[in-house]
Amino acid sequence: MYKTSKRLLDIFVSLLALIILLPLFIPIVILLKLTAEGEVFYFQERVGINNSRFLIWKFATMLKNSMNMGTGSITLQNDFRVTKVGKFLRKTKINELPQIINIIKGDISLVGPRPLVAKTFSAYGEEIQSKIYNVKPGLTGIGSIVFRDEESLISSVKDEDPHEFYKKVIAPYKGELEIWYQDNKSFILDLQLIFTTAWVIIFPKNRLYEKWFKELPKRKF
């Protein structure tokens, strides 16, 4: 029942969003085509359900060869690889909206653990790797909400390699959060997480999730 309700919600919301957002998408496509390197969409292989692979859709916000430049799979605050238009799209999360196509296709859901690139996925311990994608990854989720400031958090660490910091500090806690989601998943929880996502985009410093989800694993840093 839960899976059916979740899929129906995914299809209804994503189709509705696609219709509503089309007037926004058109000028963004034109702007991206006329700026930076002229790239509109960015397709990247990500880890999906049962550790399968799929191509995620995003608006292009970085230089074409960005994965082979700078910090690679990790993006820092004020990263030189991010284009001027890309900075705005990333800050407002508009760059993630083309993933509506992934939801319609069934690659991801509205809510679930964020799909990662293979290198970042490998930062999880073996136990987490074997469990985290027992559910479909999502456009948003508890890990995305808690770590909405991930870029600035990693950027604030000056004396440690960002990949090591992610592996030792961020990945273990993010893994705990995503397992918590699986242990407590429900249609109501999904609706709460969708609302909380919208809330923290409008009020980025607000921690509503701490009031709503008091049983979350405790943050250790």
Q: Give 35-44 pLDDT, tens digit per residue.
A: 878 889 999 9
User: What 3-state class would DSSP assign to 188?
Assistant: helix
**The predicted structure's pLDDT at residue 59:** 95
For residue 220, being part of any structural domain is answered with no
- End-to-end Cα distance, the chain: 38
Q: Is residue 114 part of a domain?
A: yes
Is residue 221 in some structural domain? no
Inside any domain, residue 218: no
Confidence band, pLDDT 50/70/90 cuts, at residue 116: very high
Query: What is the number of domains present in the chain?
Result: 1
- Report the alpha-carbon distance of residue 134 to residue 136 in Å, rounded: 7
Half-sphere exposure of 99 (CA within 13 A, CB side): 24
Residue 67 scores a pLDDT above 90: no
- Mean pLDDT throughout 207-219? 89
- Which residue in the block uniquely carries the two structure tokens 């705990």? 176
Which residue range is the domain that position 153 belongs to? 2-212
Contact (Cβ atoms closer than 8 angstroms) between residue 54 and residue 145: no
Q: Is 217 domain-assigned? A: no
Q: What is the pLDDT of residues 78-113, one digit of tens each?
A: 888 999 998 999 988 899 999 999 999 999 999 999
Q: What is the pLDDT of residue 76?
A: 81
Phi–psi pair at 113, nearest 5 degrees: -65, 140
pLDDT reported for residue 40: 94
pTM: 0.88
In percent, the amount of the chain with pLDDT more than 70 equals 100
* Nearby residues of 109 by Cβ (< 8 Å), 6 or more positions away: 6, 7, 10, 103, 135, 136, 137, 138, 139
The answer as to whether 156 is a domain residue is yes
Is the sign of the CA dihedral 143, 144, 146, 151 positive or negative?
A: positive
The per-residue pLDDT for range 176-202, each reduced to its tens digit, is: 999 999 999 999 999 999 999 989 888
pLDDT band at 139 (very low <50, low <70, confident <90, very high): very high
